[in-house]
Amino acid sequence: MEENNAIQNTQGKLDLAKIKKTGAVVLPSLFTIANMAAGFFSILAASDGHYVPAAWFIMFSYFMDMLDGRIARLVHGESSFGVEIDSLSDWISFGIAPAYLIYNFVLKDYGFWAYPVTFLYVLCGALRLARYNVKSHFGGSSKQFFQGLPIPAAAGILVSFVLAYSMLEAGGGVRSIKLVMNQMPFIYGVIPFIMIALALLMVSSVPYAAFKQGNVFKPNSVKGMLLILAVVSLIVYCPQDALFTFFSIYALTGVIIGVYRAFKPETR
C-alpha cells in the first residue's frame, strides 16, 4: 500500500513538472504568436494602402520579439520549438511584411524589376534565419555577435523610412530631425539599391553586435545612463527619424567592417 502511494506521489510530481515545463514553453510562444499576428496585420493594412498603420504593426512586432526571448529565459522555457516558431514569426514580420510594404509604397513604380528586388530581400531573410537556427541547434551561435545583419535591423530601416517619408509627405512636423528629413527624397530614389544591400548584408559573414549581455548599455555607470537617456529622449521626441538613424548606423557598421576587412585581409 505504501509502495503504491509512493509511486502515485512520484507520478504526480512528474505530471506537475510536465505541466510546469509545458507552461514555461507556451508562455513565451504567446508573445511569438503576437509577433506573427502583427506582421500578418501589417500585410493586410499595406494591401489596403494604409502604409503608416502597416509600419506601426511591424514596430509592435519588435516589442513582442524582444519580450518572447526574455520571458523564455526568465521562466527557463527555451526549446527547439521556440526557436523554430520564433524564426517563422520573424520571417513574416521582418521579412515578408516589410518587403510587401516597401513594394506597395515605392517599388511597384519600377515595374518588372520590383519583383526580383523584393524577392531577393525575402529570400535572404529566410536564409539568414535558417543559418541562425542551425547554429542555435548545434551550439555555434555567439552571445556577443550576430553573423550577418539581423533581419529585424534590416526591416527597421525600411519601416522607419516609411514612417519618416510619410511624415514628410504630410508636411513634415516640428518634432523631426531636419538633416534626416532632407535626405528622404534621395533615399526614396535609391530604395531598390538599399533593399539589395540589406539583403546581401543579411547573408554576409560580417559580425554585428548582439547586445545580449549589456556590454554597451550599462545603466550602472554615468556614461551608460547618459547614453540610454539620450537615446530614449531622441526616440520619444522624434521616433521616426531617430529610429531610421539608429537602424542605419547599425547597418553601416557592417559595411565599415567589411571595407576594413577588404583592405586588411589578415584581420579576423
Quick check: is 221 in a domain? no
Other CB atoms within 10 A of residue 190 CB? 10
Has residue 107 got a pLDDT over 80? yes
pLDDT (0 to 100) of residue 85: 86
Question: For 149-168, what is the mean pLDDT?
Answer: 92
- Lowest mean pLDDT, pick from 6-10, 36-40, 80-84, 233-237: 6-10
pLDDT (0 to 100) of residue 18: 47
Domain coverage including residue 63:
28-215+241-263
Alpha helices for 138-214 (secondary structure H): 151-169, 178-189, 191-202
Alpha helices for 48-90 (secondary structure H): 51-74, 80-90
Quick check: is 234 in a domain? no
In angstroms, the CA 141 to CA 198 distance is 21
Mean of the per-residue pLDDT values of the chain:
81
- Lowest mean pLDDT, pick from 20-29, 155-164, 185-194: 20-29
Give percent of the chain above pLDDT 70: 76
In angstroms, the CA 63 to CA 60 distance is 5
- Lowest mean pLDDT, pick from 15-19, 109-113, 176-180, 205-209: 15-19
Other CB atoms within 10 A of residue 153 CB? 20
Q: For cell 502597416, what's the residue?
A: 54
Quick check: is 74 in a domain? yes
The three cell numbers locating residue 188: 526614396
In angstroms, the CA 167 to CA 158 distance is 14
Q: For cell 534565419, what's the residue?
A: 129
CATH of the domain at 144: 1.20.120.1760
Question: For 11-21, what is the mean pLDDT?
Answer: 45
Looking at the structure of the chain, the number of domains it has is 1
Quick check: is 196 in a domain? yes
